[in-house]
């Protein structure tokens, strides 16, 4: 097989990818073949060293997330088949997709409700603290100083505790925001790949 035949076949097999990505892939293999030929191999040998276009295309598609990969593979066989599968399978995948989305949204709401609860506790403590301070003022007006002191003390203490709980709520909200971004990426991972790859690749290295 000549270089051009190889690249032409590869381009056909990868037609399901964006044109820019196909060009990039072809450029990489063109460079590899040229480098091998420069190293003294014949064109035939250099092309053979790449493996078959099918294997190369497979390796490139392997790096796609699960759903686009399945779509790309099916489309490679036949676009008609993809549409037939999509339509025939719609009673299966439409409810599945809806359920998936519903669960994701519910989980998301639940964790934010948790954070909201902490905020409510903080606000409630602060509110009671303020009321206690008002009561302390009343205590001063009626001249009952032990009561005024005790109320002021409880009020100040509760406001302080509210500040602490508020700090906790803030930290929790921040964590949840971070986590939910992470989960959103995870949930989306069968469909597309984002920057989340970094952590994934690190896990592979560690493995």
Question: What are 115's two structure tokens?
Answer: 């954070």
Q: Give the relative orientation of helices 53-62 and 3-13 as an angle to the nearest 10 degrees.
A: 40
For the residues of 87-149, what is the DSSP string, one character each?
HHTHHHHHHHHHHHHHHHHHHHHHHHHHHHHHHHHHHHHHHHHHHHHHHHHHHHHHT-HHHHH
CB of 139 to other proteins, least distance (A): 6
Candidates 167, 177, 181, 182; binder of other proteins (CB under 8 A) is 167
Residue 28: count other Cβ atoms within 10 Å of its Cβ. 12
Asked if 122 touches other proteins (CB under 8 A), the answer is no
Taking a C-beta distance cutoff of 8 angstroms, is the pair 49, 36 a contact? yes
Asked if 6 touches other proteins (CB under 8 A), the answer is no
- Supply angle C-alpha 39, 44, 50, rounded to 5: 75
Asked if 118 touches other proteins (CB under 8 A), the answer is no
Draw the binding track, 172-201, toward other proteins (x: CB under 8 A; -: no contact). ---------------------x-x-xx--x
Asked if 202 touches other proteins (CB under 8 A), the answer is yes
Identify the helix (H) or strand (E) that includes residue 20.
helix 19-38
Taking a C-beta distance cutoff of 8 angstroms, is the pair 64, 189 a contact? no
Candidates 13, 16, 22, 50; binder of other proteins (CB under 8 A) is 50
Candidates 144, 174, 178, 186; binder of other proteins (CB under 8 A) is 144
Q: Give residues 53-92 in contact with other proteins (rule: CB under 8 A).
A: 55-56, 59-60, 62-63
Count, residues near other proteins per rule CB under 8 A: 58
Asked if 31 touches other proteins (CB under 8 A), the answer is yes
Candidates 67, 70, 71, 150; binder of other proteins (CB under 8 A) is 150
Taking a C-beta distance cutoff of 8 angstroms, is the pair 117, 169 a contact? no
Asked if 156 touches other proteins (CB under 8 A), the answer is yes
Asked if 29 touches other proteins (CB under 8 A), the answer is yes
Q: How far is CA 75 from the centre of its chain?
A: 26
Question: What are 170's two structure tokens?
Answer: 């803030």
Q: Which residues bind other proteins (CB under 8 A)?
A: 25, 27-29, 31-32, 34-36, 38-39, 49-51, 55-56, 59-60, 62-63, 134-135, 137-139, 141-142, 144-161, 163-164, 167, 193, 195, 197-198, 201-202, 204-207
């Amino acid at each position: 097989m000549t270089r051009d035949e190889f690249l032409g076949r590869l381009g056909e097999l990868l037609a399901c990818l964006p044109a820019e990505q196909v060009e990039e892939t072809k450029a990489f293999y063109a460079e590899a073949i040229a480098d091998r030929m420069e190293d003294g191999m014949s064109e035939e040998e250099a092309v053979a060293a790449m493996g078959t276009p099918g294997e190369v295309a497979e390796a490139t598609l392997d790096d796609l997330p699960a759903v686009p990969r399945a779509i790309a593979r099916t489309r490679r066989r036949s676009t008609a088949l993809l549409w037939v599968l999509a339509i025939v399978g719609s009673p299966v995948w439409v409810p599945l997709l809806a359920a998936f989305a519903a669960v994701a949204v519910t989980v998301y709401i639940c964790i934010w409700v948790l954070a909201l609860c902490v905020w409510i506790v903080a606000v409630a403590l602060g509110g009671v603290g303020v009321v206690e301070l008002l009561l302390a003022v009343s205590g001063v007006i009626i001249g009952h100083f032990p009561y005024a002191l005790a109320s002021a003390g409880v009020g100040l203490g509760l406001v302080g505790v509210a500040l602490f709980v508020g700090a906790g709520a803030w930290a929790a909200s921040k964590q949840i925001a971070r986590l939910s971004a992470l989960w959103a990426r995870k949930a989306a991972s069968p469909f597309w790949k984002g920057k989340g790859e970094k952590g994934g690749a690190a896990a592979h290295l560690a493995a």
